[in-house]
């Protein structure tokens, strides 16, 4: 696995995501430019709410993959967004897509959140924000909060659509579903 090193890291310390083209050295850390449509997503390995490990490679090849990045479990906007994806799961499955939620909350927090609201899709624990950083997903509200961003990858891991809106949480489902359906006709 490729590595991202920061000041104080031991040489060769893996962080769970692989750097991609478009990164630059900024101070003592590697900073990433936002992924662009048509660019291949960086590989990752993250735990889900059940403690299992999910990798990008394990998701590819079967159809589109929708990642919705959200700020925090159990907050009103994030709960509305996650429930909107839950309610549209049948539409995504019919279009051949998989859904994954991603936030910096812990595995235990994700488990409580998923159990309480009946989410059948994985919630990935990106503690420390390494995947957000590798994929170039910036902070919102002047760097004070994780941004709400949805990324749609095709079956080969290529970015086909990104949508960012902090206050229009339900629109993320519409944007993702339209993209997934458009990929089905290609």
Question: Catalytic positions, please?
Answer: 78
Q: Name the residue among 21, 18, 88, 93 with its Cα closest to residue 56.
A: 18
Q: Where are the alpha helices (DSSP H) in the chain?
A: 56-59, 76-87, 89-94, 107-117, 130-134, 171-184
Residue 135, CA distances (Å) to 8, 93, 104, 116, 149 in order: 23, 25, 14, 29, 11
Phi-psi region at 116: left, alpha or beta (left = phi > 0; alpha = psi -120 to 50): alpha
> Hey, how many other C-beta atoms are within 10 angstroms of the C-beta on 169?
23
Judge whether 149 and 64 are in contact, CB under 8 Å. Answer: no
């Amino acid at each position: 696995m490729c590595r991202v090193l920061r000041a104080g890291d031991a040489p060769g310390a893996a962080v769970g995501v692989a750097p991609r083209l478009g990164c630059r050295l900024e101070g003592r850390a590697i900073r990433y430019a936002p992924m662009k449509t048509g660019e291949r997503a960086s590989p990752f390995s993250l735990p889900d709410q059940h403690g299992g490990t999910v990798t990008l490679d394990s998701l590819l090849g079967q159809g589109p993959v929708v990642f919705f990045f959200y700020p925090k479990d159990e907050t009103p906007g994030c709960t509305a967004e996650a429930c909107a994806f839950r309610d549209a799961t049948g539409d995504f499955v019919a279009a051949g897509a998989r859904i994954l939620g991603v936030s910096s909350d812990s595995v235990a927090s994700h488990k409580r959140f998923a159990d309480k609201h009946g989410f059948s899709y994985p919630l990935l624990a990106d503690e420390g924000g390494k995947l957000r950083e590798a994929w170039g997903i910036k902070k919102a509200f002047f760097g004070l909060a994780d941004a709400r961003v949805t990324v749609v990858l095709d079956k080969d891991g290529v970015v086909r659509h990104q949508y960012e809106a902090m206050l229009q949480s339900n629109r993320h489902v519409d944007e993702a579903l339209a993209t997934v359906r458009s990929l089905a006709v290609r």
